[in-house]
Structure formats: C-alpha cells, structure tokens
Amino acid sequence: MTLVLATRNGHKLRELHRLLDGIDVQPLPEHAATTEETGSTFAENALIKARAAVAATGRDAIADDSGIGAEALDWRPGVRSARYAGGAATDATNLDKLIAEVPPGSRLRYTCVIAHVAADGTESLFEGICEGTMAPAAAGAGGFGYDPVFALPDGRTMAQLADADKDAVSHRGVAARALRAWLSSAEVDRRAEPDGREHARVAEVLLDQQDRGGDQADADGDQPRDAGEVHGRIVP
C-alpha cells in the first residue's frame, strides 16, 4: 500500500514512516504546491491538504493537522500553533511565546487529526489527543515544536522521550494507530451521503490507554482529564 503524505516536512515524514511501518508513505511531490490552511479546525485543515494532494497526484493521500492548546489560554493556540508567534514564526519563537504566557504546571493538550482521502473521493478522519502539563523549563533535545515544554506524569517532556516511547503516547501516534487499524480492517461499513460523496462510517476506536468509559473530550477542553492520558478515535 502506498500513500502520499501531503507535506514535505521532514519531522512529520520521519514520524509517520515509523508509525505506519509497512506502508509506503511518500512525500508530496515537488511539482505539487502546498496548500494554505484556511480551516478553523484541525479536521478542516487536514482535509484541505489531503484533498489537494489527491488532486495533484491522483493517488490516495493522507494529511495531518495538529497543535497544542493551553488551558490558561482558553485552549489556544490550537489550529494556529504553527503561526502562534506570527506569520514568520519558527519553532523557537513559538516556544518562547508559549513559555512567556503559560504558567508551569497548567494543563496542556496536544491534538492531531489525520485525514485519509482516497483517489475516488472517500474521506475518513482519525483523531488523537494527549494530555500533559506545562514544564517548569524547556528540556530535551528530541522531538520538535512544543515538545520541550510538554510534560508527562513522570516529569519527562516529550522532547526527552526515545522515539518508541513518544510514539506510544503522542497525539500523532494515537491518530496514526487509529488510521492503521482502519486500513487493516476488512470490514469497513460505507454509506453514501446525500451530497453523493461516500464516507467511511466507523465506530469510535478505544485504545488501551484512553480513559475508561469516558466520553471523548470536545475541542474546547470542557472535559477535565489527567496529564498523560491519550485518546484516539475514528471520526464518523
């Protein structure tokens, strides 16, 4: 199986190659233009990018949109995580801004949505969430983005984890495992939507580490959760 990943971001390519081991994940071809993320949610942005990749290549594609939310900032920056410090923001300037505005020990949440768009137009969404807290200081040389300040219950930040440990708990790891499970399933129930597009209708995926019996947290963070919890689902 081959999938086009709608990015040329080296960090995301390496992570998804690991997470989708056995699937040939190829970067967006050089001739394909990157697409502006104009959505107001992670799902909208992921779909925008995956649809554009399919249009450019004629092949099945995946795209992810992800970001961090801080309870102290009413769950911002969210979809603006990559541009938190402005249009020319870098990982370093974004991180500095978050450190300046979010007190240590307050709640953080990583969210990732992966969109799968098939060449025939079928669309499916897979969501992963990881809860954490703001570290007292940046620590660790691994990972990227906000990982140096995203602390887990054992005190380590995402940037201090080995790849395998990070993949087991990260928001992108959770979403990718939901995608992989769906791709591996021989029994995906499909239904035709009124607009003529076909969507995959699938049940919520409950992973081993998600909360026992709780509802999925909504995008605004209304459901209190413990640091270190991870949650995954396939979005109907």
Q: Which of 64, 65, 165, 167 is catalytic?
A: 65
Kindly report, residue by residue over 90-144, the tens digit of the pLDDT: 999 999 999 999 999 999 999 999 999 999 999 999 999 999 999 999 999 998 9
pLDDT given at position 184: 86
pLDDT at position 234: 52
Q: Would you give the end-to-end CA distance of the chain in angstroms?
A: 23
**What confidence tens digit (pLDDT) does each residue in 33-65 have?**
888 888 999 999 999 999 999 999 999 999 999
pLDDT, position 235: 58
Task: Indicate if the pLDDT at residue 190 is higher than 80.
Answer: no
CA 78 – CA 197 distance, rounded (Å): 29
Among 155, 128, 134, 129, smallest CA distance to 146 is for 134
Domain count for the chain, please give it. Answer: 1
- What are 236's two structure tokens? 């109907």
Q: What is the pLDDT of residue 207?
A: 35
**Which domain does 187 fall in, by range?**
2-235
Check which CATH number belongs to the domain holding 201 and give it.
3.90.950.10
Q: Is 163 a catalytic residue?
A: no
pLDDT digits (tens, 9 = 90+) for 5-20: 998 888 888 889 999 9
Count CB-CB contacts under 10 A for residue 127.
24
Residue 19 and residue 16: Cα distance in Å, rounded?
Answer: 5
